[in-house]
Homo-oligomer: A and B are copies of this chain.
Amino acid sequence: MSHEVAVVPGDGIGREVVPAAVDVLKTLDVSLSFVHSEAGDKTKSQRGKALPDETREAVADADVTLFGAAGETAADVILPLRSVVNSYVNVRPVRAYPGVDAVAPKTDLVFVRENTEGVYSGIESEVADGVRTLTRVVTETASKAVASFGFEYANHNGYEQVTVAHKANVMRETDGLFLDAVERVGANRNASYNTELMDALAMELVMHPEEYGVIICPNLAGDVLSDLGAGLVGGLGLLPSANIGEENALFEPVHGTAPDIAGTGVANPAATILSAALLLEYLGHDEESTRVRQAVEAVLADGPHTPDLGGTASTESVRDAVIARLT
């Protein structure tokens, strides 16, 4: 069965790292077809819209999407695209890699983040002069979906620790519903897990990251805690992510457009190639997914390294080194 991949490089280094990852996918023995679309700052200045309708449609029609990064328009691109794929969960593996400097080299975390609601609802208004409100939305349906995914992921990938992050002592009704729904899913599955206030968890992750595995969280908690995790393993540069929906999914590096180095050909393609590995796993190509991930890990360990890792290699030479280990 052939799968269609929508390719949306976006802005800045997205235009360098996404093609590198596509080149890696093309060397594999999997049947993929690629459709290219545009989004981001440049698209906005050219066409008046950061996310043109045809890009939206291409993403909706494809089986999977590989997205790069968008600049100033990041939220205008990625939030609607997450809706287009109806993505109830954002998966962010945060791992320290041998060969890469990390504050906490034993870190191996996977954030499983609710991806559609919470304070990301977009419902805001000015209720009086100088007084504005935002409606934070939590549903049982989304909470259960992210919980099922999280427990299943932990099980499938051999993580023993599952932690549920929340702030139900303050957001009693909304995070109360989230927590309750997640706990019911956990109980139904006979899963073992802990619950932890998101503030306390932020402290614990800094002090003892090695004691955690899969972390199931509401949207904003996942946003902040996964970036905290990135800090533990040397920054956003190496983090892949998956936005999983019912019928399709979108994969993207967690990093941004890196305007300081965009166009110079030295962006690190590792996070995007690792995102491509997640894409392969989602499509059921587990073996190819593992091979790609291991090839990237080998290149991270032995080089060549781009400047962000202290080397002088180009994007293309890292791509070629990954491909050399695959063929």
The reply to whether A141 and B130 contact each other, CB–CB distance below 8 Å, is: yes
Beyond A131-B140, A198-B224, A206-B231, 9 additional pairs, beta carbon < 8 A: A103-B103, A124-B171, A126-B173, A130-B141, A133-B137, A134-B138, A202-B228, A207-B235, A228-B228
- Judged by a CB distance under 8 angstroms, whether A313 is at the interface is no
Residues A174 and B207 in contact, CB atoms below 8 Å apart: no
Q: In the bound complex, how far is the Cα of B135 from the Cα of A199, in angstroms?
A: 20
Instruction: Scan A44-69; emit 1 where CB is below 8 A from any B CB, else 0.
Output: 00000000000000000000000000
Q: How many Å lie between the Cα of A79 and that of B126 in the bound state?
A: 25
Q: How far is the CA of A234 from the CA of B207 in the complex (A)?
A: 7
User: Within 8 Å CB of A103, what residues of B?
Assistant: 103, 206-207
Total contacting residues, chain A, CB less than 8 A: 53
Does A321 belong to the interface (CB within 8 Å)?
A: no
A220-B167, A231-B206 known; A132+B174 contact, CB < 8 A = yes
Known: A119-B119, A136-B133. A227 touches B200 (CB 8 A): yes
Q: Mark A193-229, 1 if CB is under 8 A from B, else 0.
A: 0000011101111110000000000001101111110
Q: How many copies does the complex hold?
A: 2
Main secondary structure of the interface of A (DSSP, over half): helix
Contact of A133 among B135, B141, B220 (CB under 8 A): B135
Judge if A299 is at the interface, Cβ distance under 8 Å. no
Chain B residues within an 8 Å CB radius of A174:
124, 132-134
Closest 4 CB pairs of A and B: A206-B231, A130-B140, A124-B173, A203-B231
Nearest-CB distance from A179 to chain B (Å)? Answer: 12
> Within the assembled complex, what's the spacing in Å between the Cα atoms of A228 and B132?
28
Contact B132 A177 (CB under 8 A): yes
Complexed CA–CA distance, A228 and B197 (Å): 12
What are some 29 contacts across the A-B interface (CB < 8 A)? A74-B169, A75-B169, A103-B103, A119-B119, A131-B137, A131-B138, A132-B137, A132-B176, A133-B135, A133-B136, A134-B171, A134-B174, A135-B136, A136-B136, A170-B220, A199-B223, A199-B224, A199-B226, A200-B227, A202-B225, A202-B227, A203-B230, A203-B236, A205-B228, A206-B228, A207-B231, A207-B234, A220-B220, A221-B224
